[in-house]
Amino acid sequence: MKKNFSMKSANNAIKIFFEEYSKTSSFYILAAIVLGFLFGAVLIILTTDAVYAGFRNSFWEGIQVSFRTMGKTLESIFVGAFGEPKRIISAFQNGDPQTIRIAINPFFESLTVSTPYIITALALTLAFRSGFLNIGAEGQVFMGGIAAVWVGFSTHSLPSIIHVPLTTFSGMLAGALWGAFPGWLKAKTGAHEVITGIMMNYIAVLFVDYMASGPLRDPAVFTPQTPPISEHAQFFRFFEPPIRFHIGFFIAIAMVPIVNFFLFKTIWGFELRQAGLNPQGAKNAGMNTTKLTIMSLALSGALAGLAGANEIQGISYFMNSLNFTSGYGRNAISLALIGGLQPVGAMIAALFFGFFTSASKFMSLRAGVPHHIIPVMQATIMFFIATPALIRTIFRVKKASSEETLITKVSI
């Protein structure tokens, strides 16, 4: 009798926990991720030739091949993102530095790939929390990159202690100015930041292409590109090649508590969040909504510009239309939403996405699965986040909370 009562109490507790958790925005995000992975699993099975060959022989063989393919895919994702454990252990036992660097390179490459995603996800989190759809982050990344290139190669005589932060700040300033202009247009003319942001993305990409093939072109190279930045402007790398891990990762991580403190511990952050939740109420309370609009998009643009400078100073060292087709601004939209519009959540989502992106090529080579599955899964997750009513129907949960309503509003 006591056992039955305990089991009944446990079942009730689990039911209550599920009902309460299903009212939070994190439930919808987790559900969207799970559904995205399930959809990706189906796509992996449908796009693998070995699965079709197995089903041609027999139904059960097809099922077995499907599970083997999924297992090999998961193994490939892990090895591509973190490295092969046996190889790492063997490399450390061998003691050869180059062998060790090759063995641990996948993990540090994943961190390197995640770095710009962390920064741009924070940029979009700040803008979305302020109630603004900063769709122009892609252009702000480009402008931050070209500004960093110009300062990086045109001032060769500066010492590193000055040249590195000056180059980084120039990228942030360019991104801030590129973001502030749509904010000013919205505040003064009512122009929607989505339309102006999209248009300025095109302008930024074409402007960078023009600068790389015209005024800033490197005459010593056949392909249109800028000169490389000075060694004194480059970020410090912790290891020798092939590892590209640089100090920019720690800059990105440092931005997380800074953005979190600004949004939730300062008066400016409070005003920005209130303006995002209730613009008319903020205006009636005496807040300067014009200043808040411009400041929000300028700060978001500064972070996006930092991502562009980070890529130049840490990875590419020069810029052209081929090595800087970033996509960071577009992907950051979904990363900010997956992170629940929280700086820490955005960082976790960016790391998650960066590790998967880094592993996608290895997954394609080892498991024979198209690497395009990863962006399809991301798009699917984004779709479910933007349609919480569909998730409520699938999981039979009650209506969303106010925070989830904010996330839905932003995603739409």
Asked if pLDDT for residue 192 goes beyond 70, the answer is: yes
Asked if pLDDT for residue 5 goes beyond 80, the answer is: no
Which range scores top for mean pLDDT: 38-52, 258-272, 277-291, 395-409? 258-272
Which DSSP letter does residue 226 get? P
Mean pLDDT of the chain: 83
Asked if pLDDT for residue 360 goes beyond 70, the answer is: yes
Cα(354)–Cα(80) distance, integer angstroms: 11
pLDDT at 14: 39
pLDDT at 404: 52
Asked if pLDDT for residue 6 goes beyond 60, the answer is: no
Q: Which residue has the tokens 């962390």?
A: 118
pLDDT at 20: 43
pLDDT at 380: 81
Asked if pLDDT for residue 354 goes beyond 70, the answer is: yes
Q: Which residues contact 128 (CB under 8 A, 6 or more apart)?
A: 134, 276, 336, 337, 341, 410
Better-predicted residue by pLDDT, 338 or 300: 300
Least confident range of 80-94, 297-311, 321-335, 362-376: 362-376
Q: Which of 152, 206, 203 is nearest to 177 (CA)?
A: 203
Better-predicted residue by pLDDT, 355 or 157: 355
Cα(185)–Cα(174) distance, integer angstroms: 17
Across 197-218, average pLDDT: 91
pLDDT at 400: 53
Across 148-159, average pLDDT: 89
Asked if pLDDT for residue 366 goes beyond 90, the answer is: no
Contact (CB, 8 A) for 209 and 199: no
Angle of CA points 291, 338, 119, to nearest 5°: 55
pLDDT at 317: 92
pLDDT at 289: 79
Better-predicted residue by pLDDT, 131 or 6: 131
Full-model pTM: 0.84
pLDDT tens profile 7-23: 555 445 534 433 443 44
Q: Which residues contact 306 (CB under 8 A, 6 or more apart)?
A: 119, 144, 168, 171, 172, 175, 251, 255
Q: Which residues contact 332 (CB under 8 A, 6 or more apart)?
A: 117, 120, 121, 123, 124, 137, 304, 350
Q: How far is CA 364 from the centre of its chain?
A: 21
Better-predicted residue by pLDDT, 150 or 38: 150
Categorize the per-residue pLDDT at 39 as very low, low, confident or very high, splitting at 50, 70 and 90: confident
Tokens of 142: 């480009």
pLDDT at 368: 66
Contact (CB, 8 A) for 388 and 31: no
Q: Is 396 left (phi over 0), alpha (psi -120 to 50) or beta?
A: left
Instruction: Specify the long-range contacts of residues 360-366, CB closer than 8 Å, at least 24 apart.
Output: 360/80, 361/80, 362/76, 362/77, 362/79, 362/80, 362/106, 363/73, 363/76, 363/77, 363/80, 366/72, 366/75, 366/76, 366/79, 366/80
Contact (CB, 8 A) for 140 and 304: yes
The total number of residues written for the chain in this structure: 412
Asked if pLDDT for residue 367 goes beyond 70, the answer is: no
Asked if pLDDT for residue 305 goes beyond 80, the answer is: yes
